[in-house]
Structure 1
């Protein structure tokens, strides 16, 4: 009996040791290297020591507030593949200096995602650095959250970054970037900033990106391919008193190319800011080829000067979205081609349009070609004035179709076509509203050669149903509705 008890005790001890020792040795605890986590002591040097000694691959911040005054640089070639964890989100890094709190640097500065281009050191020591379950807060005017430089397969998940300049700053060259289930909140600059960077394969998903004054997600130049923005809440990313911004802004006005992307299943809304946009693509002046092959689908988009602004781009589909409150316009297309605006709902729910709200909305197409505007419902919209405004305005363009759409409660005009050729308006239902009275259902001016207005049901405005001051237009088989 005595021997049995001894055996049982020894067995229990071995089991406990086998469980406890791996748990305690599994991660490198920053407090073991002198970090206090009290929010007062400067923990920069202590955490740097912990990074150097994190040989087991995980650097852990126990519950606490870790104040640092300089960037914590993780050179993956030196320290090896590393994960950083805040122990279930209970830890906070307070960046009280300029620059990013964490700067993760790899050596994938020339390779692509092709297996043959990946160097052995990348697989051995650098692939898939992770940051998870931690908060980063800025306590300096130029404090940033996380910078990624020349990394391969980085993963950021469950991270809260707030009160910084840039939340996540991508620089130089990165590949296969995953940002998931993160909160980027109240940045003085941009939430997720692709800053003249070369990136192929990047996904931002299931995250909240809000109250960032210079934009939620911004691309400035660089070379971007395969960029997916899905399932996020992207809101209030503007400063009504500051710089022009957008919730999502792809800006190639100074060069670069950004192609092959999706914006799908997001809520993208804001408050009105001067010249602001929910989604803005700004291409290279005089060249529409550098931004393209994007799908904008199944989003809720609203509450900005312009909901979607496409300038010098091509190959964009806008389908299945719901739009609300474009203070200037819902969609503005300029100097672009091969654009589909199909199967969307532009709604005017009176619950959102109080007497204090003046958000006329509408769609404008200017100096564009090969545009389809089909199977949309467009309710209660119309920017501009009776002379040149309307729910849909097509100017100085060619090869445009408007088909199978409901345009009603239109302000000024239902559809206005000016100096545009090869335009077809077919199978639409167009009607006005009593106050203010619609001027005309369809009005045409200037040279509109090879334009066809056919088989529409058109409400009669105070100037008529179809008012044609243009040349080269075929008008046939339409039904005029008096509105009585």
Structure 2
């Protein structure tokens, strides 16, 4: 057990706490600053609990799960900020049962570091499943290269299922290039989150399947005056459900919601308002549907546009603007308002 201490690193290789081959390691009320990494878990550990910690202004990572075999870790009620190489980072590891809850995770990327994220699961090698990120405030910094709040990277297109069985729920995220980025993921639920001030993408989902996206707010509050795009994009995805999204005022992107080269996508009950250029854009999408959506205040733009693709159903929507489709798409029961 590590409890109630402060560690101030004064050496470029200093690590606050490093754990190898431990069982039931408990870390509470720990402060680590000016070190390389705050906490590093390496090789093999089991049943780790990290609670009520401050990991602040370190040169590396706040909590680093590095080449690790781990079952069961809880990270809660902690302040993880201004660590230059990431807040909570997993690399080349085999992880099961990881819970991250009720944390303030901010600014964990440097302006001159390699692209990272406040929460980065880089599973280019290994696997990570069975967990959740919930009830956190995750934000900053937009001027770091390719910055993200939450980023999952799986093994690659040859085996795009090694990161997943995961929930991202009830978080507030802002002020980065990408709020949530999934690549080569399978089985992720994203619900109840408030996302805003994304300089490129609120949501970027690539080569992923069985993603459930529901009841999220993707807002542009006038009090936040940054010139952001806030795009929402699915590329090369299959078997996903998008329900009850509230999307406002994307800028300098083709549409509020964009799907490219996707199949079996179900888009329902979404409210999309004031998006520059258009509401929903489908490019080369097949066996998918759009229903019961409210797409308004874009009368000079299109409400829904389908290019390429086949076997698309569009029904029971209330829109302002055109529904522009080609052969292979059926449109019914549309109400147009201005």
Kindly report which structure 2 residues correspond to 1:115-264, keeping only aligned pairs within 5 A, or say none: 130-253=1-124, 255-264=125-134
Within the alignment, does 1:444 sit opposite 2:306 as a pair?
yes
Which stretches of structure 1, 4 residues or longer, exceed 3 Å deviation after superposition? Answer: none
The higher radius of gyration belongs to 1
Tell me how many residue pairs correspond in the alignment: 336
| Aligned-pair CA distance for 1:362 | 2.2
Report the Cα distance in structure 2 between the residues aligned to 1:424 and 1:293, rounded to whole angstroms.
Answer: 25
What secondary structure sits across from 1:140 in the alignment? coil
RCO (CA 8 Å, sep 6+): is it higher in 1 or 2?
Answer: 2
What secondary structure sits across from 2:197 in the alignment? strand
Report the Cα distance in structure 1 between the residues aligned to 2:152 and 2:138, rounded to whole angstroms.
Answer: 15
Contact 2:52 2:76 in 1 (8 A): yes
Give 1:362's aligned residue: 231
CA displacement, residues 342-368 of structure 1 (integer Å, 9 cap, x when unaligned): 01111111001x2xx211202100000
CA displacement, residues 181-201 of structure 1 (integer Å, 9 cap, x when unaligned): 000001111100000100000
Which structure 1 residue ranges, 5 or more long, are not aligned? 1-129
Within the alignment, does 1:479 sit opposite 2:330 as a pair?
no
| Aligned-pair CA distance for 1:383 | 4.9
| Aligned-pair CA distance for 1:140 | 1.4
| Aligned-pair CA distance for 1:240 | 2.3
| Aligned-pair CA distance for 1:472 | 0.5
Give 1:323's aligned residue: 195
Kindly report which structure 2 residues correspond to 1:282-301, keeping only aligned pairs within 5 A, or say none: 282-286=153-157, 287-301=159-173
What secondary structure sits across from 1:394 in the alignment? strand
TM-score (normalizing by structure 2): 0.97
Report the Cα distance in structure 2 between the residues aligned to 1:391 and 1:205, rounded to whole angstroms.
Answer: 34
TM-score (normalizing by structure 1): 0.68
Give 1:467's aligned residue: 324
CA RMSD of aligned residues (A): 1.1
CA displacement, residues 145-192 of structure 1 (integer Å, 9 cap, x when unaligned): 110000000000000000111110000100000000000001111100
Contact 1:414 1:438 in 2 (8 A): no
| Aligned-pair CA distance for 1:443 | 1.0
Structure with the higher fraction of residues in helix conformation: 1
What secondary structure sits across from 1:242 in the alignment? coil
Contact 1:382 1:392 in 2 (8 A): no
Q: Give the 3 Å change call, closer, same or farther, for CA 446–250 of structure 1 in structure 2.
A: same
Kindly report which structure 2 residues correspond to 1:330-369, keeping only aligned pairs within 5 A, or say none: 330-352=202-224, 354=225, 357-369=226-238
Which structure 2 residue ranges, 5 or more long, are not aligned? none
Contact 1:301 1:324 in 2 (8 A): yes
Give 1:376's aligned residue: 245
What secondary structure sits across from 1:471 in the alignment? coil
| Aligned-pair CA distance for 1:237 | 0.8
Report the Cα distance in structure 2 between the residues aligned to 1:228 and 1:178, rounded to whole angstroms.
Answer: 10
What secondary structure sits across from 2:223 in the alignment? helix
Contact 2:228 2:251 in 1 (8 A): no
| Aligned-pair CA distance for 1:382 | 4.4
